[in-house]
Structure 1
Amino acid sequence: MPTVRFTKHLLRYYPALQTAEVEGGTVAAVIAALEERYHGLSAYFVDDQGRLREHVNIFIGKDLIRDRESLSDPVQANDTIFILQALSGG
């Protein structure tokens, strides 16, 4: 199963959030599996159309995903997925 890692700032909203192994053959399927485990979490990553939010990046290993619209990038069982949400402020 792919392993998903998150930025630590999400612990503020999801204290139980940990590096997780989830089923999924695409980025979209992985996000759906995370949503089942952590209800509401996907709203931080995708909009109501299922597109990746502007200030969120997802990497599969060292590679940035290409499909920000439908999240169809393939995920292999031994992949590590990093979900990074940019922080802004001054």
Structure 2
Amino acid sequence: MPIIRVSNVISYYTEKQTRFQVPGATALDAVRNAVEKFPQLKFHVFDNEGNLRRHINLFVNDVHVKELDGNDTPVGEEDVVRILAAAAGG
């Protein structure tokens, strides 16, 4: 099963786990399964229409999915899917 990694901030919604495994054939499948495992995560990752929020970035093995096959990037047993929220400030 792919490994999901989240920041300490997001881990508030994953029972303080920053690393855990979920099933999934693609990066997005893995994120959806992470939300099933930790329902509080849903509001922070997906909008009301079920799409990833604009500020959420997915990486597979430290490569942004935009440089791969997008959210449909295939993932395997040893792959790491990182969920990162973009930060802004001034």
How do 1:1-90 residues align onto structure 2 when only pairs under 5 Å count?
A: 1-11=1-11, 13-14=12-13, 16-18=15-17, 19-66=19-66, 67=70, 71-90=71-90
| TM-score (normalised: structure 1) | 0.79
Matches of 2:23 and 2:82 in 1, distance apart? 15
State the SS of the aligned residue for 2:84: strand
| TM-score (normalised: structure 2) | 0.79
Q: Which structure's residues are more often helix, by fraction?
A: 2
Code of the aligned partner of 1:72: D
On the 8 A contact 1:31/1:42 being kept in 2, the answer is: no
RMSD: 1.8
Gaps of 5+ in 2: none
Gaps of 5+ in 1: none
| Identity between Structure 1 and Structure 2 (%) | 30
Across the two proteins, how many residue pairs are aligned to each other?
86
